[in-house]
Structure 1
Amino acid sequence: MTKPTKFLQALLLVLITLFISCGTNEQKKEKIAPTDTSSNTETFKLWTWITADKARTDESFDEEFKKYGDNGINAILINTYGDPELLARLVPIAKKYNLEVHAWMFTMNRPGDKVAEQHPEWYAVSRDGKSCFDEPPYVGYYKWLCPTRKESREHILSLIEGLSKVEGVASFHLDYIRYSDIFLPIGLLPKYNLKQETELPRYDFCYCDVCTSEFEKEHHKNPNDFSNPAIDMEWKNFRLNKVKAIVDEAYKITHANGKILTAAVFPYPEMADHMVRQRWDKWNIDAVLPMIYNVFYNEEIDWIGYATQQGVNDLKGKNTELHTGIYVPGMTPEQLQEAIHQSISNGAKGVSFFDGPAITEEQWQVIRASQNPQ
């Protein structure tokens, strides 16, 4: 009788252990578990993009910034439409909640720019001769300036100078630092009833007289004569280098003013090169925030990890940090948690959420948990 009794006692102990374990797992399902960031031992940064309206009161900004600070956000990228006075007004409010302030500005795309609008010749021209001043591609706010023309370049750099001189700002943040989209993200094509399988003349920029004449002087051929411009590497590199030249100049300006340079970019360099003539792994820049908005590309959450890793690998050997940009609208808390995990576990130094006002309370719970891994 001794052996059966010991066996039954052991069996009972196993059943009790399993019961307790199952109960614990059920309790865990009721909460958002902390994001596992053990693969990145350094503290990672949480950012968000926001747009500021100067008509708002300081009290309303204070309430918004407090929410970001209370929920674990470390840095805010503020679009003030190039207004240094508004930016200076917001810095001390953000500092109350230990938030870094980054001056976010639309760079090559300049909708509503009153100075540029006085100079129609500054705007980029498509292969079929349409100026962004008169006929912007895709949407009315696509008002792209030419990166080659001296006057438009100097105008852009003067705006960067003004914002980067604001005391207390951590960086100047370039956005739309590229040409107009040659190829839209696949998930957006139905919205515009478009099929883009080749580089279409309407979306291929810049063929203004300044660009084509400078290129012809350097390479002894004119892009207007090409039967298939997409396969001419000199013409492609000419345009990539025009964007790089503005970034590199912005780097000098921001560093001279004691700031760093950051940028919102397309998901990874090869993709950015293909879609918008943007090769950001070759830039002089301190940090990039690739907008890895999986829903725009009809991709699953794990694609965020793939694109993050691709960018990190392309930046090896450079002093440029990568912080993954995540598009939060429509994401479930579980999807957001996985997006953060995919970013950090694939080498990102942080994540940025687009945009602050769109984050739900359920998503804030995930964000708070990500800063307190157990």
Structure 2
Amino acid sequence: MKLPSKLFIALLILLLATLSTASSFWQNRISSLEHDIAELRTTLETSRLQMRRLDYPKLEEIINDCEVNLKEAQRLLTEKDDSEEAQTLIVNVVNMLNDIKPFLCESLSVETRGMWVDNFTIDTFYTQEDVAKHLDELKAINVNVIFPDVYGNGSSIYPSKVVPQKQKFQVMFEEKDVLEMIIEEAHKRDIEVHPLVRVFGLHNGAEHFIDSRSDWLDKTSEGLYTLSNGYFWLCPAHPEVREYNIAMLKELTTNYDIDGIHLDYIRYDADFGYNDFMRSLFQQLYGIDPFDIDSPRMESIFTVFKQQFVNKFIERTYYELKAIKPELLISAAVASPYSWGKNDLGQDWLNWIENRQINFLTPMSYRTTVDQYTSTVRSEINTVSSRSYIYTGLGIYLYDGSVLLGQIQGGRDSQITGQAVFSTANMKSYHYKALKDGPWRSPAIPTFRDPLNAAQILIDDSIARLQEFEPVINAEPELITEYVSIMKDISADIKSLDIRPWDTRDLRQENLDEVTQLEPITLLESRLI
């Protein structure tokens, strides 16, 4: 049986106490907590200097209570070195310091907060009430975009004329449509819906293809359909595979009131790409069967050859779906780091950005520690170099709520404007509490739908912060006045911009008039650096 976290902490402390003399253990524990409290006060001071909006009176009250409790525990231990009352006070301080962590994170007014709603979660839906309850939970932590897993393992959750529907949803929903329910309930709560489609990864859902379409299946360098994991893949090079998937995506775009399409498994698996059709085509072009490649140069050529089929599919997806629904945003979950996806998985996602064929990406930057995650995020930012939006993935199955808070702050400090949590089935109560009490406690607008509006809100917010925190940041009043004046000019220039909406524009079409309009803002920004 899993013990509640606070009870577990208390029992652990008591267990450790039995392994040492009572007096030395508890005295050492007090010293450690006093150090933690001193660091906490430093954190609050730093937060003020960084102009973070926190509930400082409440936080200081909690810290003061901790100090009072520790002093009382110290007094009690002086009188009796195994005082149970002192031990209880110390345990309470430990719990108070753990509970305070989420409240040290600011909740921003502009931030993309994504959530992958995985197939395990959707499989628990039997009624619209189930869907509504789940969306209530996501709304309570102020998620503003979801990526529901609507097609995976070779079948869909919705009735389709293109792909087979999962039997469970045929039986349980009969004439109803669970995807329509998800969209309806999400939109009621101002949450965008970007259905996730697993494009080339079939996993263990190949039965629809094994008998009549086995030539669609990709193969490994040893001519096998799967590796040891038993997962099947479709071949990105096969023309019929591409048409099949494009038809599915067009059906989704046409039939549903969706806000975007989110592509997953838009790649090969490692050691795949040796489908018979692909081998034959490569041999026609380069005079060698990929099975017989034995030089680094030709291996590199084959890698680029594989990438081109994924790149072309992205291009078709973007322009053919936008032709149906111009406001639709196309995004993809991609390998992280970029070099791994490009070299091992045939996924050159920087190519999609450079060719303006994607609205945003969610690199799956799943790392165990805050430092590892932050390092990965900065690497991806350097790769993208402000050419597109990226919202890095948070692999919460790897860690607890404390690390989640650290990774969100690490991402913010790295200047990304949002993140996406993987995934609903991995959400534990401590993750939920960390987000609800911490960085996602207040609603936020996403940055991908209307960047101009987001920028306007952010610049106006920055002006308000400078004025609000002026007594704290200890800057020259003249400097504050100058900064506020510059930012007010930027705000006025943003309001006067006459440029195409981000979500419906053709990203390929440069507009010199828009570039000219942005130049004064760029010059003003340079004065703030």
Alignment of structure 1 residues 139-154 onto 2, 5 Å? 139-140=229-230, 142-154=231-243
Matching residue within 157, 165, 190 for 2:254 = 165
Residue 327 of structure 1 is matched in structure 2 by: 395
CA distance in 2, matches of 1:328, 1:230: 40
Matched, 1:217 2:306: no
Indicate the SS of the match to 1:93: helix
Determine whether 1:176 maps to 2:268: no
Q: Deviations over 1:230-274 (max 9, x none)?
A: 862211100111111111111113312321111111112112223
- Give the aligned partner of residue 338 of structure 1: 406
Q: How much does 1:42 deviate?
A: 7.4
What does residue 14 of structure 1 align with?
A: none
**2:64 aligned residue:** 23
Displacement of 1:215: 1.8
* Match of residue 228 from structure 2: 138
In 2, the alpha carbon distance for the partners of 1:175 and 1:327 equals 16
Change (3 A) 1:345 1:138: farther
Q: Are the equivalent residues in 2 in contact too, given 1:170–1:260 (CA < 8 A)?
A: yes
The residue type paired with residue 303 of structure 2 is: K
CA deviations on 1:150-177 (whole Å, 9 max, x unpaired) are: 1111111111112222432111111111
* Structure 1 residues 114 and 216: CA distance shift in structure 2, 3 A: same
**Deviation sequence 1:127-172 (CA, Å, 0-9, x none):** 1111x2xxx21323x2201111111111111111122224321111
Most deviating of 21-30 and 285-294 = 21-30
CA-to-partner distance for each residue in 1:80-119, whole Å, 9 max, x for gaps? 2234443223211111222111111111012436653430
Q: Which has the higher helix share?
A: 2
Q: Is the 8 A contact 2:102 2:435 kept in 1?
A: no
- In structure 1, list runs of 5 or more residues that go unmatched: 1-16, 183-203
Pairing 1:287-298 to 2, within 5 Å after superposition = 287-295=360-368
CA distance in 1, matches of 2:432, 2:272: 40
Correspondence for 2:309:
242
- Say which SS state the counterpart of residue 148 (structure 1) adopts: coil
Q: Which residue of 1 aligns with 2:123?
A: 53
Structure with max Cα Rg? 2
Partner SS state of residue 334, structure 1: helix
TM-score for the superposition, normalised by structure 2: 0.56
Match of 1:366 in 2: 434
Partners in 1 of 2:305 and 2:126 — Cα distance?
Answer: 43
Task: Name the CA distance, whole Å, in 2 between partners of 1:96 and 1:301.
Answer: 35
Q: Secondary structure at the match of 2:322?
A: helix
Q: Which moved more, 1:332-341 or 1:346-355?
A: 346-355
TM-superposed deviation, 1:229: 6.1
Which of 104, 113, 124 is matched with 2:196 structurally? Answer: 104
Amino acid at match of 2:222: D
- Which structure has more relative contact order (CA 8 Å, sep 6+)? It is 1
Which of 185, 202, 214 aligns to 1:120? It is 214
Unaligned runs of 5+ in 2: 1-40, 43-59, 68-92, 160-177, 443-464, 466-529
* Change in CA separation of 1:21 and 1:168 when aligned onto 2, cut-off 3 Å: closer
Structure 1 residue corresponding to 2:423, chosen from 333, 347, 355:
355
Q: Distance in 1 between matches of 2:268 and 2:340?
A: 14
The answer to whether the Cα contact below 8 Å between 2:141 and 2:441 also exists between their aligned partners in 1 is: no
- What's the offset of the Cα at 1:341? 1.1
SS of residue paired to 1:146: coil
RMSD over aligned CA atoms reads 2.9
